[in-house]
Amino acid sequence: MGQRMLHVTFLTDYENLKWIDVWSNPFLPAIFQFPRIFLLAGPSIWVLKTALLLQLWRINSSIWQIPDDP
């Protein structure tokens, strides 16, 4: 019997977070972005965490999706 080697490379959660797009308005669909500026005022850590939270909410929620069985 010979030996087999499996080499696997995994991405960390941090690597996925580095590539999240920040839309100018996280509450509207991508085709209709108004206003064109995303502004938050406050301490930088809070602003970054809030922007990330809003973008993750946009990605994972279905607020603009039509229900399957209305």
Q: What is the mean pLDDT of residues 5-11?
A: 91
- pTM above the 0.85 mark? no
Tell me if residue 16 falls in helix, strand or coil.
Answer: helix
Q: What token pair was written down for 64?
A: 């603009």
- For 50-69, the DSSP string reads HHHHHHHHHHH--TTSPPS-
Tens digit of each residue's pLDDT (9 = 90 or more) over 9-59:
998 998 988 899 888 888 888 788 888 888 899 999 999 999 999 999 988
Note the residue count of the chain. Answer: 70
Where are the domains positioned within the chain? 23-60
